[in-house]
Amino acid sequence: MYATCVTLKFTRRCGEAARIADRFNRTVRPSPALGGMITNGCMLKSFKVTEEKGNPLPPQREKKPKTSPCVLRCGTAYGNLLAMDDISAEWMTSPVRDCGSDNDVSNDDDDEDDEEEEPIRKRSKWPDLPIPAPWYGETSKETGFHRSSRLCLNQIRECLLEHRWQEAAEYLISYFQTLEEISTPRQLLATEIIFRLGSEILHQHPNSKLEDVNHFFDLMKNTGVRGYLKISLEHSFHLLLTGNFDDAVRQLTTAESWRYGKQSAVQADKMKLIHAYRGFLSYLSWISKKGSSSEDDDGDVSAIQEMHTYFRQACISLQEILKLPGVWDPFVVGYVNMLEFYNDHEGALNVLKEYAYDSRFPPNPNAHVYLYRFLKRQGSTEKKQIRVLKILGALVPSHELMLELFSLLLESGTEQSLKEALDVLFNLLDDCSWKHSVAAWTCFRNMIKLLRRKKLKHLLEEGWETRKDWWPAFHFRTYHARADFQLSRQLLLMKVVVASTLVGNKCMYCRRKNELENEREARRMIKTHKKRKR
Amino acid sequence: MDEELIGFFREPCSQCSVVNWGVTEEGGYYCKSCHNVIERTVEVTDPSCVTGSRVSAISHGAKKPAKQKHGKDWMVCEGFQFILKQQAEALLAMGVRPELKDDILCNFWRGYLHKSQQAYTTKPLYSVTSQQESDSCPESLAASELSCLSKAETESDMDGARSTISGWSSDGGRLSSVCTEALDSSLYCSARERRMHHLMTMPMTLAFLHLSLLWLQEAITLADLLRFTAEGHIPYINAYQNFPEDMKLFGRDALIFRVESLPSYKMVQEEAHNLAIFLDLPRFPPLTSACLLHPSLLCLRYLMELNLPDELHVWVCWVMQQAGVGKDTFLTYDPWAEKSGLLNYDILASALIVVTLKLLFKLDDQQEWCLSNSADDENKQNQDSSIFCFRKWYKTVQGALVVAKEAEEQAMARKSWKSQKPVYPSMRNKSVVIKRRRVVEQLQAQFQKLTGSDPQPRQDSPSSFRLRWGEEDGGGPSYQGRRLGSAVKKRKGSARPSNPTYWHTALSSCKPRHCTDHFLEMEDSLPRSYVSVLGMVSFLLGVQETHVHAEVCLLERLLFKRPCQPRTKTSHGSRRKK
């Protein structure tokens, strides 16, 4: 949710970003923008681990990033807090693992300790798998202090769910004492929880000011140096959200140059994300410069030069991050956009192809969407476009671009392609989000007409065979007819054609349609009758 | 030389908030953790701002550090003595007779020190062999012990008390480090040693208090004591915060004095019993019916708190007589009596009330509601509400309890456990611990400013009663004056309950160590109204339902003391009232 807000914020900055944001919204994933990217920061980490330990995970693990609890954990603070139901899930996956498994209070700030720790870590009984950390729930041996903090967290959660920010802040005052927790895993968890709760409350509390937020973030950064970069990143997100673009850039620049003994090396994966976001912000500056310079049209040399600097900055960082497997949607879009502007179409195509087809990357429908749109913009052959869309269809059969694939297939006109087009339609209508789509049903009606004309009705049978036991209940009940009629008459008429072809003329849907039509006719008659009377 | 300069300069680093300063060759300070070099300046600590603002430079001359502060050597038992003294003073402030502190507790404590060979002995448990005065040490300690508790009222000021408390005579020559833990704290760290020598723990301080209160027959029961402790009226959590300046806690001391939970009723009771045996205490003064701890008087108090009619008290006393629990031979605590533990007077009294309720209203989910209906009818006929109606009572008390439970939970959620003065586990961790404490304080200050809330929440004065009835801000109307009405029948000149039968669970007692209680496994099969009455009582006492249930079973065993056939655990025996 936060991610969307940030994107919207950009919208105000520059018209180009609006277009991007709009495009994001049209893609499948609910919020593929910034939030999604943090998620993948973590995924990126798991890959790193694989490389370092020389203990490669099986490939199917890499292909299922969504199921990894690691990914779950790293969702942005705001996003997760707003969906606080998941806080238990959050707890299950504590940050214990990415901080090593030492039980010493001290090594938070001590470089030497880290050196001592290193061999221990290798011997540690925690294997490097995304195993949930121990769940600190209610037990019979729970100490009073832990009971207090558990109850307090529950209270805060209730308050947040009901948007009672004032009360939540009051409870948080008591909750701060968990920072002084003696056991290290619990202490780290407390840091994380307090950081998330605090930033959310400060974000929402009516009395909070920007200084408060900055102060809070600074304190949290220094409390757990292990989370320094993550908190810096969140801080910059918050600044973006409140419209302080320059401060956000400054924040990221500071974070980029952060050095803290071995701690900065441990957080190398986060550092890569920081670089990437820094590049992305440069890209946004580039867009705004582009917008202003195109208005002037004079071609002010210095402005163009400045724009070029931003371009170079963004390019370097974005190129780096795109080499690593992950879901980098906004980065890719930005990078391709810049390349296209400077007429490097080949480069852009390579980037997109890499992003879509590299097997190290997790399967990502958006990658294919971007590639398709690029091809369409470039006016490439239909064959290529169809190929891309087919892969997309395999990933997401109910994607909205499937209608475009349908029309593309229809245009080629061979029997094979007609069959494929019919499959596309069937798959589309299997999904309940398309149930009431007039466009989809119109396509189906047209398809049937076309098949009749070409005498290829047997094609219909194949698709129907697997669906005939459930589609009538799914689409063609009397109740559906009534609902469709209320929605739009057009939909009803389209569906009737399909229903009568597939199920038969005497199906419930058709009968109900006839009744409804008769009723409508009767009402019209009465109306006209009355008018005439007057 | 660095140590001296650094010791003086205790500001947090502006970059990383750590206090870990080093001095460069040029004489400037630099932060050892983030290598941030600062100018030799004094920072104004402004909690609203992390970095603070530099105000003025200070001259080099002023930096000469004062003599290093260090604590005196001290023994762990001195720490406990200090805590006990504070706890006793808190009890005195509540109105307990002053003999508690000066006579009873002091004597118990002396006896304990002697028995555990910590003082008043020629062979002390821990002796400082490196010191010449090792043989005179226990004497000096003994002298100071003597003076501490008994003379404390004359030495009301803190300084006087301090001089006697840490009376362990020592010259400062041996002290080199800034922080020293108590001399004998290593003894306390091994569980074996602790058990062998019966060394002090924090829950044992409460056991001491409980024994002394029992000896004095004060009205504070163990449940009350624990509740006052939980509410903070008796110092327990972070009691070490108030130690005198020269008693510095460090390292292992934390393990001894830091508490993160309150002991349970059972635990303190067991500790107290073990302590009584260890101290070789004689039979306690007889507990007569005039004492406030006597069940008949305690019952009156609990009847009032449970908002039950006073008329029930007659019945409670009758049950008490029948079961034979009112006699002083039964009630008086004798550590050496056969098969004896400490009696839990408060639970016994509340169990008496539960049994009485079962006798009059049966509590089988049927009879009590029938009786409530007839009470309603009577009230309607008489056009008033002078007859006690179980249903109305149940609704009122249950409602108030739900509110009280919620309030308790919220209070628990807001409870502060951590000390203002943290104890460092080791010198190396000191900076981290200090930094954490400071961050917590800053965060708290920031959010207090944000919410505009009061940093120190108002504390209610201690009260024996948790629920109030019949007052404006109380839990509901008072039923104290109500009559029992048709629940009691007059027959042949004597009153009888109109409820003809009484149910109870299996009377055969289990083997003591093999199975403790069966409440959890049979809770579902027990009548709901009985379970909720148990819930009310146990909430008031702050114990678990199973304890009250066990006490009820015990009472029933005493009531129907005839050899009975073994029954299955879950079946409800039903028998006519004698």
Looking at residue B118, its pLDDT comes to 83
> Tell me, what amino acid is at B276?
A
Question: Distance of CA B309 to CAs A390, B92, B357, Å?
Answer: 81, 33, 11
Q: Is residue B568 part of a domain?
A: no
Question: Distance of CA A324 to CAs A330, A358, B513, Å?
Answer: 15, 11, 63
B103 and B186 in a single domain? The answer is yes
Looking at residue B205, its pLDDT comes to 93
B400 and B494 in a single domain? The answer is yes
Across A81-85, A372-376, B318-322, least confident range: A81-85
Q: Does B20 touch chain A (CB under 8 A)?
A: yes
Looking at residue B534, its pLDDT comes to 93
Residue A59 pLDDT more than 60? no
> Tell me, what amino acid is at B462?
P
Confidence class for position A44, pLDDT limits 50, 70, 90: very low
Give me the domain span that covers residue B349.
295-407+465-560
B186 and B324 in a single domain? The answer is no
Instruction: State the DSSP string of B378-408.
Output: HHHHHTS--B--HHHHHHHHHHHHHHHHHHH
**β-bridge mates for residue B576, sequence order:** B501
Shortest CA gap A264–chain B (Å): 12
Shortest CA gap B141–chain A (Å): 34
Is A179–B417 a contact, with Cβ atoms under 8 angstroms apart? no
Block residue for tokens 């937020």:
A213
Among A147, A173, A223, select the one facing B447 at the smallest CB separation. A173
* Nearest chain A alpha carbon to B411: A148
Q: Report the candidate in B96, B18, B444 with the shortest Cα–Cα distance to residue A179.
A: B444
| Calculated CA dihedral for residues B522, B526, B531, B534, nearest 10 degrees | -70
Q: Hey, of B440, B441, B448, B456, which one would you mutate to test binding to chain A, going by the most A CBs within 10 A of its CB?
A: B440
Tens digits of residue pLDDT in A486-522:
888 889 889 888 888 888 888 888 888 888 889 989 9
Q: Is residue B248 part of a domain?
A: yes
Looking at residue B61, its pLDDT comes to 38
DSSP B291: S
Is A170–B451 a contact, with Cβ atoms under 8 angstroms apart? yes
Q: Which residues of B touch A170 (CB under 8 A)?
A: 447, 451, 453
Looking at residue A504, its pLDDT comes to 84
Q: Hey, of A113, A174, A193, A231, which one would you mutate to test binding to chain B, going by the most B CBs within 10 A of its CB?
A: A174
Across A300-314, B26-40, B405-419, B464-478, least confident range: B26-40
Looking at residue B227, its pLDDT comes to 92
Shortest CA gap A267–chain B (Å): 17
* Nearest chain B alpha carbon to A144: B261
Among B260, B262, B413, select the one facing A171 at the smallest CB separation. B413
Looking at residue B127, its pLDDT comes to 62
Sequence spans of domains, chain A: 2-123, 468-534
Tens digits of residue pLDDT in B157-193:
333 333 333 333 333 333 334 456 677 777 777 777 7
Q: Report the candidate in A227, A159, A241, A220 with the shortest Cα–Cα distance to residue B446.
A: A220
Looking at residue B496, its pLDDT comes to 81
Q: Which residues of A touch B52 (CB under 8 A)?
A: none
Looking at residue B457, its pLDDT comes to 64
Shortest CA gap B195–chain A (Å): 21
Shortest CA gap A268–chain B (Å): 18
Is A260–B442 a contact, with Cβ atoms under 8 angstroms apart? no
Residue B545 pLDDT more than 80? yes
Residue A178 pLDDT more than 50? yes
Q: Is residue B527 part of a domain?
A: yes
* Nearest chain A alpha carbon to B48: A215
Q: Report the candidate in A184, A192, A163, A171 with the shortest Cα–Cα distance to residue A92.
A: A192
The residues on A that touch B, with CB distances below 8 Å, are: 105-106, 108-110, 142-148, 151-152, 154-155, 166, 169-174, 176-177, 179-180, 194, 198, 202, 205, 207-208, 212, 215-216, 218-219, 222-223, 225, 260
Q: Which residues of A touch B50 (CB under 8 A)?
A: 215, 218-219, 222
Structure tokens at A329: 């949607």
Shortest CA gap B49–chain A (Å): 7
Among B18, B416, B446, select the one facing A212 at the smallest CB separation. B446
Q: Which residues 384-443 in chain B show a CB within 8 A of chain A?
A: 409-410, 412-418, 422, 425-426, 428-429, 431-433, 435-437, 439-440, 442-443
Task: Give the mean pLDDT of chain B.
Answer: 76
B188 and B251 in a single domain? The answer is yes
Structure tokens at B232: 């903070």
B342 and B231 in a single domain? The answer is no
Q: Report the candidate in A197, A254, A267, A175 with the shortest Cα–Cα distance to residue A227.
A: A267
Shortest CA gap A1–chain B (Å): 25
Q: Does B444 touch chain A (CB under 8 A)?
A: yes
Looking at residue A259, its pLDDT comes to 80
Residue A298 pLDDT more than 80? no
Is A144–B260 a contact, with Cβ atoms under 8 angstroms apart? yes
Q: Does B569 touch chain A (CB under 8 A)?
A: no
Is A105–B444 a contact, with Cβ atoms under 8 angstroms apart? no
Instruction: State the DSSP string of A36-88.
Output: HHHHHHHHHHHHHHHHHHT-PPPHHHHT-GGG-HHHHHTS-HHHHHHTGGGHH
Looking at residue A372, its pLDDT comes to 93
Confidence class for position A303, pLDDT limits 50, 70, 90: confident
Q: Hey, of A102, A103, A106, which one would you mutate to test binding to chain B, going by the most B CBs within 10 A of its CB?
A: A106
Q: Which residues of B touch A169 (CB under 8 A)?
A: 447, 450-451
Residue B394 pLDDT more than 90? yes
Task: Decide: B223 and B346 in contact? Cβ < 8 Å.
Answer: yes
Residues A139-151: what's their mean pLDDT? 85
SS (H, E, C) B143-194: HHHHHHHHHCCCCCCHHHHHHHHCCCCCCHHHCCCCCCCCCCHHHHHCHHHH
Q: Is residue B474 part of a domain?
A: yes
With a pLDDT cut of 90, the percent of chain B lying above it is 23
Tens digits of residue pLDDT in A98-130:
333 333 333 333 333 333 333 434 444 555 555
User: How many Cβ atoms sit within 10 Å of the Cβ of residue A443?
Assistant: 22
Q: Hey, of A102, A109, A220, A221, which one would you mutate to test binding to chain B, going by the most B CBs within 10 A of its CB?
A: A109
Residues B343-368: what's their mean pLDDT? 90
B344 and B223 in a single domain? The answer is no
Q: Does B18 touch chain A (CB under 8 A)?
A: yes
Structure tokens at B521: 């496994």
Indicate the length of chain B as a whole number.
578
What is the rounded CA–CA span in Å between residue B168 and residue B171?
A: 10
* Nearest chain A alpha carbon to B264: A144
B360 and B486 in a single domain? The answer is yes
Tens digits of residue pLDDT in B134-157:
333 343 344 344 334 443 333 333
- Per the rule left: phi > 0, alpha: psi between -120 and 50, beta: everything else, B36 is beta
Tens digits of residue pLDDT in B414-473:
888 888 887 777 778 888 888 888 989 999 999 998 888 776 666 777 887 888 887 777
* Nearest chain A alpha carbon to B429: A106
Looking at residue B9, its pLDDT comes to 59
Across B28-32, B50-54, B101-105, B217-221, least confident range: B50-54
Q: Which residues of A touch B416 (CB under 8 A)?
A: 174, 177
Task: Give the mean pLDDT of chain A.
Answer: 75
Residues B386-404: what's their mean pLDDT? 91
Q: Is residue B223 part of a domain?
A: yes
Question: Distance of CA B568 to CAs B518, B522, B552, B571, Å?
Answer: 12, 11, 18, 6
B192 and B319 in a single domain? The answer is no
Shortest CA gap B270–chain A (Å): 18
Residue A221 pLDDT more than 90? no
Task: Decide: B263 and B236 in contact? Cβ < 8 Å.
Answer: no
How many CB contacts within 8 angstroms connect chain A with chain B?
117
B362 and B480 in a single domain? The answer is yes
Shortest CA gap A85–chain B (Å): 20
B89 and B227 in a single domain? The answer is yes
Tens digits of residue pLDDT in A387-413:
999 999 999 999 989 999 999 998 887
Q: Is residue B423 part of a domain?
A: no
B227 and B365 in a single domain? The answer is no
**Position with higher pLDDT, A98 vs B110:** B110
Q: Is A256 exposed, middle or buried (0-12, 13-18, 19+ CB in 10 A)?
A: middle
Instruction: State the DSSP string of A107-123.
Output: GGS-HHHHHHHHHHHHH
**Position with higher pLDDT, B265 vs A59:** B265
Shortest CA gap A280–chain B (Å): 27
Across A22-36, A182-196, A308-322, B520-534, least confident range: A22-36
Looking at residue A137, its pLDDT comes to 64
Q: Does B260 touch chain A (CB under 8 A)?
A: yes
Any idea what the CATH number is for the domain that residue B10 is in?
2.20.25
Confidence class for position B30, pLDDT limits 50, 70, 90: low
Looking at residue A50, its pLDDT comes to 31
Looking at residue A63, its pLDDT comes to 33
B482 and B525 in a single domain? The answer is yes
Residues B330-341: what's their mean pLDDT? 79
Is B422–A180 a contact, with Cβ atoms under 8 angstroms apart? yes
Q: Report the candidate in A178, A69, A180, A182 with the shortest Cα–Cα distance to residue A130.
A: A69
Q: Is residue B312 part of a domain?
A: yes
Q: Which residues of A touch B417 (CB under 8 A)?
A: 144-145, 148, 177
Angle (nearest 5°) at CA B98 between B94 and B104: 115
Q: Is residue B460 part of a domain?
A: no
Q: Hey, of A114, A156, A171, A176, which one would you mutate to test binding to chain B, going by the most B CBs within 10 A of its CB?
A: A176
Question: What total number of domains does chain B contain?
Answer: 3
Tens digits of residue pLDDT in B250-262:
777 888 888 888 9
**Position with higher pLDDT, B156 vs A290:** A290
First to last CA, chain A: 57
Across A26-30, A132-136, A279-283, least confident range: A26-30
